[in-house]
Each structure stands twice: as C-alpha cells, then as structure tokens.
Structure 1
Amino acid sequence: MPKFDRVIAIVTDSIGIGEAPDAAKFHDTGADTLGHIGAHFGETGWALPNWQRLGLGNIQRPTPIPGVPAVPAPIGYFGKMAEISAGKDSMDGHWEMMGLPVTEPLGFFPNGFPAELIQQLEDFSGRKVIVNQPYSGTEVINDYGERQLQTGELIVYTSGDSVLQIAANTAVIPLAELYKICEYARKITTGAPYRIGRIIARPYVGTNKANFTRTSDRHDYALLPTAETDLDRLQAAGVATYGVGKINDIFSGQGLADGVHTVSNSDGMDQTIAAVQSARTGFIFTNLVDFDAMYGHRRNPQGDGEALMAFDRQLGDLLAAIQPSDLLLITSDHGNDPGFTGTDHTREYVPLIAYSPSLPGNGDLGVRSPFADLGATVLENFGVAGNGVGQSFLGLLK
C-alpha cells in the first residue's frame, strides 16, 4: 500500500536558491534567484510566511535569504537539488525530475536560425520571417509588432535556451494558423542538425506598441521524451497522473492521463487546490510559469517578489486543504535570477520542500542530485519500480 494516497508536486518555475556547483560552466557564477529577490526587498520588505514555516529559510546556503530566515522547528522537510542535465531549460529540469536527465545537448542558435530552416518556415506559412535573433519576448513585439500588423510577417526569435519562438498578433495571424505553423516547426526541428528543445507559440493582441499584450494562449511544443519517464511508469502501474499548467506541453502529453491548461500562477494554484479538494488520487504535477515568463526573463525582481508573495498566500490555502494522506512537494526546475546579467535561465540549486500533516517535519533532506530523486520518491510511494536514476528520500520523511 502507498504511504500516501496522493503526491502533489509544485514546480515554482525558475525560482533557484543559489549557484549550482557547475554554474561557472554556464557563466552563472553568483546567480541566486531567491537571494537577489530578497536583497531587492530587504529584510522587512517582503515575507513568505507559509513557505518559510515549511522550511524554505532552513535550506543550507552560504547566507540567509533576506527576509526569509530559518525558523526553529519547520513543519516540513527541507533541502535542495542539483541538476545533472546538459542544459538549464525547463524541459531539461522537468524531464530530469521524472527520471530522464537530458545528457545530449540541445540545439542553441545564439546568432539566429540557419537560412535553410527560415526558408522552410516561409515556404510552409506563405509568410516572410523577420527578426531571427535572440530577443526578449516583450521587447520583440514592442519593436516589431506594428510592422507585423502592416505586413503579416512572422516574428521568429530565440534566447539563450534551446527554443524557437514565433510571436503573432492574432488580428493578422489567427491562433489556429500560429499553432499550425508551430506544429510544422516542431516536425522539422526534432532531429539533427537542429534538435531544438521547444517550439513556442507566442500569441499577443493590441493595436500598437503602447497596448500590445501577450495572451494566455501560449503553447509549447516540446521534444517527445526520448525514453520512458516516471510519468509513464506511474501510468503503466495504474497510478493516476494529472498535469496542471504547462506540464502537458513539456512532456507532449506522454504519461499524463489528464490535465488542465492554466492562464496564470493564480489559476495554477486554484486548479491545484481544486484537485486536492476533489476525490482525485495519484500524482498531481503542477507548473507555475509566471515567475519565469513574466519576471525572471524580464529581470524584474519587484514583480518576481510580488508574485512569490501571491503564491505564498495561496500556498496557505493549499496547506489548509492538504489531508494527512497527502504528500506535498515543492521545488523548481532551474533559476532565472532577476538580479543577474542577461535575460536567460541561471544554473542554480533549486529548493526542495516536503510536507504532510501526518509527518512531524523538521527534517533536513540535504543536497539531492540528480533532480530524479523527486521522481524516485514518487515512485517508491506508489510501489512502482524506476530505472535506477535518482534515489528516493521517502525514508527520510519520518
């Protein structure tokens, strides 16, 4: 019998907790998402009381998180995880959590995509491609959105991650057409020489640069998992799997029996709370992307901190709904330090919290590596065999 009837894992997308051991390899020495957000607000400028009482401030780090100090007896178990995947993309982090580290580097195009690929996109879509270089998602529509309204050209851009993004004002390129173009882009970039991790549809609305706004209809077309994941193993064993937010996109639907798209962090937490309040059992897997997409990449520590405080308030509601037969896990997939240089993800440790009302808490999980320790813990709980990647920490929850 499982120790817990349900396991709920929440990924606070991009909320790292300090440079990882291999940060220098990624030019991320000194990155510290939570530390720099805390420094921006100061010791008394912000608070994360619910996450704090679970043990967030007790996680081992060189200096305390400003405003989130350790508490004497946290009600949860606390630690941090280090990634082993070749990259620091959301896909790498989530796949590694589910027992599938990404060992082969994905394709990166810091100087734009090859002419052959751009020509294929133009031939398929019947639209000219513009930009084709690394760009901030909000800045690119500010700089080129009015031109797109006039010409109907495709805004194609990338970042420091393995992504090809297509921004489209739905007034001139309808959502269905944008999705169709992105599906084609996914098809032609899966293998060599491209092997792009994600194709991202970035729809937006507005009549000029003063009011252009990206919509919640973003869609990520990730590579299909290259092997079985822990989600597949759970599903094969008859354990229900439910994805909230972009989980379905990241795994291309594989290993998920059910799921729900969300439009914001708040909606993601509402959907998670609703799932916990329902009769649903098994594994609930949630991603909260706003920290990354709206604040981290835009290097906005104020917005990131405010979003974290909003999450913490809803975390209080979730804790009130959690049952003694539930296990809650909170972690992240990578960093995206709003106090760091550039606009890309940062290679960091990620926080790890475990909690159940049936457990005494106040336990140190230490440093876990790889991220697959999380998936191994979920598998052990449900009595499902894994692939030997990652070690369960279920036995430490006592």
Structure 2
Amino acid sequence: MDFRRVIVIDFAGLGIGEASDANRFNSVGADTLGHIARFADPNFALPALSRLGLGNIRSNDPVVGLPPVEAPIGYYGKIRLKSQNNVALSGLREMFDYQTDIRTTNVIDSIVALLGVNSILITNYLSYLSNQNMAQIIPVNSDEAGFNELHQQVIAPNNGLLYFRLLDLQQKALEADGKGCIDVLNVVDQHLSRLMRELYSTDLLMITSTFANDPTVDVVPTREYLPLIAYMPAKPEGKSLGIRRTLADIGATTAQIFGVEPSDESVGHSFLDELS
C-alpha cells in the first residue's frame, strides 16, 4: 500500500488483560476492558470497534458485549510495553523513539525534518509531546474537543502523522468510575464510525493504548497487554497481527511508511509487510 498518512489514536488507559510480566508490577488479574465491561448495561456494544476486530483480539476469552466477529475489517492483535519503567509516559516514548547511528530521536520530528510532511499532535500538554519542536500541537482538554479537531484534520488532504491521545478514559479510570469508562467508550465508538467514513484511501489508521489503568485494581498504571488495530480504507479485510513485543513496532511501521531508517539497535520491528 502507498500510504501517505498515518493516524494514531491512543486509547490512553485501556488494557486488555494482564501482561506476561504482570507479576513484576503487582498487576496479576488486571483486565481494564474486561472489568469495566461489567459496569455496562445488558445491551452494551461497541459496533465500530467490534467491526475493526477489538473482540477478535480476545477470541479465547471474550469480553461481555464484544464477541469476535467473523470478518473483521481491521488487522488486530496485542501489543505490550517493553520498558521496565512502568509509568504512564513510558509507552509514549517507547512508541515513537528510535535509535539512529549516533543518537536517540523520534519519528514525530524526523518525518518533518527529513520529508517535509506534517506531524500533528492533538493532546493536552504532556512534556514529551510538547518537546517535539517540529510538530504542530493542537491542545485540547477533553475527548469531545479532541475529536472535533481530529475530524477537521482527517478531512483535510494532509500527508504525514496525525496523533490523538484520549483524555477522558484515563481520568475516569483514575476516579475508579467503571460506568464512566463505559460511557467514554460508547462516545468514542460513535466518533470512530464517523471517522472511518472520512478517511482517504491512502490513510492507515492505527488504534492502540500507551498504558493501562484497571479502575478495579489499586495499582497505577496496571501492567497489561494493550490493543492494536490497523485499518486501511482501501483494504477493509483484516487478520491477526499476533502478539507484538513492544510499542516501538508502531513507530517502526510509521518510520518505514515514510522512508525513515532506524539503526539495527532500535527495538521496534515494522509490521507494514504484514498488512497485505
């Protein structure tokens, strides 16, 4: 595929079950998605995310209201945090940083400096993102404001990287508000349904999360596998991406799309060739 734009939506705070090293982070039994689904009403459903394959990630252990679908339109899998520094911003750095022959840098600035395409970040003020000097930062303080900006940016014919970090889900999780988490996911799913109609055929949409926060567990953040969904409007046929070892695979995939070449010391491995 000849992608011209990568859109990353970060469901910050959403985990999908304890990671293989959960015992090292007091997170055995953590399952953000599974646990908050218990707060939903009997008609709970996330149609857009289900079509994309969210339920298929856990086909062997389905979440209430999210059964696997027969023909998902997105590629789907689990991805994990490799960093042993288990804090909320670790995943963000891991996702975008990569190693050159001489230093550590990041995909966000590199694609602007090397290729002249855009990096647009829709987020609140986080130090890591604010320090990307070549990116256009659009500050927002709620998901509603963020999605309004996202829809405007998506319909514009720009090339490059577009990143949006959800805010409300992590806040509701910190408040231990499981019902509030469900309300957030319902609203997000409606926006995703609209977003998929707005995408260009040369777009690649990636949905993930940079950390997990199970509101039923007294640990912040919780060490969990994180969702990974990749959707191509030009090819709405999905399959499993398996279990990815590091969030850096997302940055490596973005780098390959735009012709940025990390050194062999970089930890990420692109899955671009698997999207075929």
Q: TM-score range by the shorter chain?
A: over 0.9
Residues 164-223 of structure 1, C-alpha deviation per residue, up to 9 Å, x if partnerless? xxxxxxxxxxxxxxxxxxxxxxxxxxxxxxxxxxxxxxxxxxxxxxxxxxxxxxxxxxxx
Q: For 1:64-87, what per-residue CA distance to the aligned partner results, in whole angstroms no more than 9, with x for missing partners?
A: 111111000001100110111122
Indicate the SS of the match to 2:30.
coil
SS state of the match for residue 90, structure 1?
Answer: coil
Hey, what does 2:35 align to over in structure 1? 36
In structure 2, which of residues 98, 106, 129 is the aligned counterpart of residue 229 of structure 1?
Answer: 106
Give 1:363's match in structure 2, choosing from 239, 243, 246: 239
Say yes or no: does 1:249 pair with 2:127.
Answer: yes
Residue in structure 1 matched with residue 198 of structure 2 by the alignment: 321
SS of equivalent to 1:251: helix
2:48 to 31, 47, 50: 50
Matches within 5 A, 1:208-219: none
> 1:70-219 counterparts in 2 under 5 A?
70-99=68-97
Percent identity (aligned): 37
Contact 2:81/2:247 (8 A) holds in 1: yes
Which amino acid is 1:309 matched to? N
DSSP-derived class of the 1:259 partner: strand
Which structure's relative contact order is higher, taking Cα pairs within 8 Å and 6+ residues apart?
A: 2
Instruction: Tell me the residue number matched to 1:6.
Output: 5
- Note if 1:374 corresponds to 2:247: no
What is the rounded CA distance, in whole Å, between the counterparts of 2:159 and 2:144 in structure 1?
Answer: 22
Looking at structure 1, the residues matched to 274 and 152 of structure 2 have their Cα atoms a distance apart, in angstroms, of 29
2:226 counterpart (325, 350, 356): 350
2:21 & 2:192 partners in 1: Cα distance? 31
Could you tell me which runs of 5 or more consecutive residues in structure 1 were left unpaired when the two chains were aligned. 102-225
User: Which residue number corresponds to residue 152 of structure 2?
Assistant: 274
Extract structure 1 runs of 4+ deviating beyond 6 A.
none
Q: Relative to structure 1, is the Cα distance of residues 273 and 229 closer, same or farther in structure 2, using a 3 angstrom cutoff? A: same
Q: What is residue 168 of structure 2 aligned with on the other side?
A: 290
The farther-off stretch of 59-68 and 372-381 is 59-68
What's the CA shift for 1:247?
6.9
- Cα deviation for residue 278 of structure 1 reads 1.1
What TM-score, normalized to structure 1?
A: 0.65
1:329 match: secondary structure:
strand
* SS of match in other structure, 1:374: helix
Q: Which has the larger radius of gyration?
A: 1
| 1:15 CA displacement | 0.5
Confirm or deny: 8 A CA contact 1:241 1:255 kept in the other structure: no
Question: SS of the counterpart of 1:270?
Answer: helix
**In structure 2, C-alpha distance between the alignment counterparts of 1:332 and 1:360, rounded to whole Å:** 22
Q: CA deviation at 1:89?
A: 2.2
Q: Which amino acid aligns with 1:14?
A: G
Aligned: 1:240 with 2:118? yes
What is the SS of the residue equivalent to 2:130?
coil
The alpha-carbon deviation at position 254 of structure 1 amounts to 1.6
Q: Which runs of 5+ in 2 are unaligned?
A: none
Deviation at 1:39, TM superposition (A): 2.3
Tell me, in whole angstroms, the C-alpha distance in 2 between the residues paired with 1:98 and 1:266. Answer: 25
CA root-mean-square deviation: 1.8
**Alpha-carbon distance in 1 for matches of 2:46, 2:86:** 26
Q: How many residues align?
A: 270
Shift of 1:263: 1.8
In 1, distance between residues paired with 2:61 and 2:15?
A: 14
Measure, in 2, the Cα distance between the counterparts of 1:310 and 1:284: 20
- Does the aligned pair in 2 maintain the 1:16–1:348 contact within 8 Å? yes
SS across alignment from 1:243: strand
Within 5 Å, which residues of 2 pair with 1:383-398? 383-387=259-263, 388-398=266-276
Following superposition, the deviation at residue 62 of structure 1 comes to 4.8
Shift of the alpha carbon at 1:290?
A: 1.2
| CA distance, structure 1, for counterparts of residue 131 and residue 110 of structure 2 | 14
